[in-house]
Amino acid sequence: MSAKKILVTGAGGFIGHHLVKFLKQKGFWVRGVDIKAPEFEPTRADEFEFLDLRHLENCLAATRGIDEVYHLAADMGGIGYITAFHATIAKNNTLINVHMLEAARIQGVHRFLFSSSACVYPQYLQDRPDTQPLQEEDAWPADPEEGYGLEKLYMEKLCQYYREDFGLETRVVRFHNVYGPLGTYEGGREKAPAAICRKIALAKNGDEIEIWGDGQQTRSFLYIDDCIEGIYRIMEAGYPHPLNLGSEERVTINELVDLVAEIAGKQIRKRYDLTKPQGVRGRNSDNTKLRTVLGWAPQTPLREGLVPTYRWIEEQLRKAGRIP
């Protein structure tokens, strides 16, 4: 068993919880930190500490004796949430990120991975459904999504500065719409795949469900297993600059709904609400640099990943007595 000690922040969240399980299977000693426990099953971490990482003293406590940090903690959610609370999200995440990076420096952490987002990419490059896939260098000149995207882009640069000025070995991964089982599926913070799975699971055959926007906006969606494998590979690689981690399989939201309906075995009618936020018009990941650096890229087709995702959400709703 490896003696390496790893910290996963945000270990009570969707990606963080999966990452803890993955790292434990690799034989590492893992400390998980969050303000909440994992929602759907117990943590596998060797230690799990409830700490508010907006405060430096808590970040120093979290990083004590740690070799590597996977920093996933963030105030975040789906498009409805991140467009409604710019000040709160920017404030909370700036405090979390700056204090975690400084604590890692003070405590002599060897490697620090920051989980960024495709929200850092300029909105002027995402104004059509058929826009070109986004390459890492496209982030500048900057025009990120307000609040959430801006603070992510700032933290990317801060990682660069800490590497250049202090020698802290940093990694930056830009997530593109991660989905899968054990993720939030209601309450306002859920992402599109989980929300659509919930709506269709609750609907009867032939029912109508609400779609935000006109359904023609495009996205790619990354299955959780590919996400976790990619995070680990990026941490292990010697590449310090931002890397996309996403699928290159672009679909419209209408196509996403049709896929989930097919998996559910239901005929579904769509009702469009153009007053609801829908984010950028089109977004897709270009994984050219990821393949060059890692010799690897995500492989799970969207339909293949949606099957266990839908089945898991359906089962949660059934256990709660909300569907027969």
* Other CB atoms within 10 A of residue 140 CB: 12
Cis peptide before 240 (omega within 30 of 0): no
Report yes or no: 207 and 264 within 8 Å, Cβ to Cβ.
no
- What is the 8-class DSSP label of residue 282? B
- Residues 271, 21: Cα–Cα separation, whole Å: 39
Q: How far apart are CA 21 and CA 17, in angstroms?
A: 7
Residues in contact with 287: Cβ distance below 8 Å, sequence separation at least 6, in sequence order: 244, 246, 248, 297, 298
Secondary element (H or E) of residue 253? helix 253-264
Asked if 111 and 54 count as a contact pair (C-beta separation under 8 A), the reply is: no
Set 70, 81, 121, 148: catalytic member: 148
* Phi–psi pair at 34, nearest 5 degrees: -170, 170
Say if residues 69 and 27 touch (Cβ distance below 8 Å). Answer: no
- DSSP letters along 101-165, please? HHHHHHTT-SEEEEEEEGGGS-GGG-SSTTPPPBPGGGG-S--PPTTHHHHHHHHHHHHHHHHHH
> Is 148 known to be catalytic?
yes
Residues annotated catalytic, as ranges: 148
